[in-house]
Amino acid sequence: MEVFSEDMRSVHKFGFFHKRSELMIMLPQVPKLRDIFELFAVKVNARAQAKVEGTPAEAGIGAETVAGSAGTASVAGEADVEAKAKEEVNAEVKAEEGTAIGAGTEEQSGSVTVLGGAPTIDLSDVAECLRTMGLFPSEKWLSDRVVEQLRRREALGPLGAHVARRASFELVLTLYCQLATLNDELTADEVLVALRSCDRQRSGVLSYSELRHMLTTVGERLEEAEVFSLLHTVSDISGNVHYEHLVKKMFAKDGQTEETVHQARLYLQAIGRNAIDMDMAKRDEFIDALREADPSNTGYIDQSILLSVLNRSEEHFTSEELQILTRGMEDEGHPGINYRRFLRFIMHE
């Protein structure tokens, strides 16, 4: 396992002026999570294409659950509702094509559904994506996070509405880090003590049906599929679950997990909290343009040049607006605007 020095662990060492590709070289565990995420982005595109063509995208998908502001709504994917599926997909595409916003537009690129230049997945696929990454969110925990995300995006107006039902890699990574922290709050010993208290015979096993009932009705309730995933490998032919094995499975961490979570947090800190709603490809292009405008790497740029760089995209700032945004970003003894501070402001405020 690679161990970073204290300097490398500092966000300031990574800074706010690295592109995603550069950060992923410095944080080699993050691309592994990105690869898992992109598998689901490809799956989403295949599903959407199947809806348009009226054919199943992949075996076992069946009905799709799509998160909404009031909870979740079931969207049929069977062949007998082909016309309805086509109509829904075409309506979504038209709505997206008619919306021009700073976060970029959603489109199909190769085999991956993208927001601008960045792949996205359905909110309904986030739970399975996190499980594939090695964490097991409960339905309630994830539902609360999704509702919170939808409310926050609604508050952004058209910008948030455009990406409300999509999850970027940065959003999934944020949930991954939150869930990892949550998992750390409950220890294996605490869970084991609780299960032993239910084992009056001290046999080391509990019935599958009893554990299933506990996991689906008490506390952070799990879905049936989640329960099966946890229990089937630690149960015997008599339907008993060896709960010590279950606890080991629940809290099993490979040697890279702690470092992976740490690197994921560093990545998110370096790109800024607004990244979950932004077109990160445009951020990378902006960094490239600033580097080109400042070949000596002074960190400063004339306001007129910064305005020109900003307005290369769909954004249309006036010099007066930029002057207000960059107020306080001049440093004594340095001509121009501190553009690294400006980028930090964009990504964090």
What confidence tens digit (pLDDT) does each residue in 252-282 have? 665 577 889 999 999 998 888 888 877 888 8
Average pLDDT over every residue of 187-213: 87
Q: What is the 3-state secondary structure (H, E, C) of 37-94?
A: HHHHHHHHHHHHHHHHHCCCCCCCCCCEEEEECCEEEEECCCHHHHHHHHHHHHHHHH
Is the pLDDT confidence value at 159 over 50? yes
Nearest by Cα to 201 from 229, 243, 140, 256:
243
Q: Which of 31-40, 77-86, 303-312 has the lowest mean pLDDT?
A: 77-86
The answer to whether residues 342 and 287 touch, using CB atoms and an 8 Å cutoff, is no
Average pLDDT over every residue of 20-34: 93
Is the pLDDT confidence value at 332 over 90? no
The answer to whether residues 171 and 276 touch, using CB atoms and an 8 Å cutoff, is yes
First to last CA, the chain: 35
DSSP code, position 123? G
Q: Where are the beta strands (DSSP E) in the chain?
A: 64-68, 71-75, 106-109, 112-115, 118-122, 166-168, 205-207, 240-242, 300-301, 337-338
Confidence class for position 176, pLDDT limits 50, 70, 90: very high
AA letter at 256:
Q
Look at 6 and 162; give whichever has higher pLDDT: 162
Domains of the chain: 6-183+255-273 (no CATH), 188-250 (1.10.238.10), 294-348 (1.10.238.10)
* 228 CB burial (10 A radius; 0-12, 13-18, 19+): middle
Look at 186 and 217; give whichever has higher pLDDT: 217
Is the pLDDT confidence value at 18 over 50? yes
Confidence class for position 290, pLDDT limits 50, 70, 90: very high
Q: State whether the Cα torsion 56-62-63-67 is positive or negative.
A: negative
Confidence class for position 173, pLDDT limits 50, 70, 90: very high
pLDDT of amino acid 82 = 39
pLDDT digits (tens, 9 = 90+) for 43-100: 655 655 565 566 554 443 333 333 333 333 333 333 343 344 344 434 443 433 333 2
The answer to whether residues 266 and 9 touch, using CB atoms and an 8 Å cutoff, is yes
| CB neighbour list of residue 115: distance below 8 Å, 6 or more residues apart | 103, 104, 105, 106, 163, 166, 168, 279
Is the pLDDT confidence value at 109 over 60? no
> Alpha-carbon distance 121 to 42, whole Å?
8
Q: Where are the beta strands (DSSP E) in 123-230?
A: 166-168, 205-207
Look at 98 and 147; give whichever has higher pLDDT: 147
Average pLDDT over every residue of 124-144: 87
Look at 146 and 34; give whichever has higher pLDDT: 34
Most confident of 5-14, 110-119, 205-214, 271-280: 205-214
Is the pLDDT confidence value at 7 over 50? no
> Alpha-carbon distance 132 to 240, whole Å?
26
Look at 223 and 289; give whichever has higher pLDDT: 289
Q: What does the mean pLDDT of the chain come to?
A: 74
AA letter at 73:
A
Average pLDDT over every residue of 303-323: 86
Is the pLDDT confidence value at 314 over 90? no
Is the pLDDT confidence value at 317 over 80? yes
pLDDT of amino acid 97 = 35
Is the pLDDT confidence value at 32 over 90? yes
The answer to whether residues 171 and 36 touch, using CB atoms and an 8 Å cutoff, is no
Tell me how long the chain is. Answer: 349
* Cα dihedral 244, 249, 254, 257 in deg (nearest 10): -110
Q: Which run of H or E residues covers position 255?
A: none
Q: Which of 123-132, 170-179, 307-316, 327-336 has the lowest mean pLDDT?
A: 307-316
pLDDT of amino acid 163 = 59
Average pLDDT over every residue of 40-45: 75
Number of H helices, E strands in the chain: 18, 10
Look at 318 and 158; give whichever has higher pLDDT: 318
CA distances from 144 to 38, 147, 149, 150, 284 (A): 24, 5, 9, 10, 31
| CB neighbour list of residue 14: distance below 8 Å, 6 or more residues apart | 23, 26, 27, 266, 269, 270
> Alpha-carbon distance 251 to 243, whole Å?
12
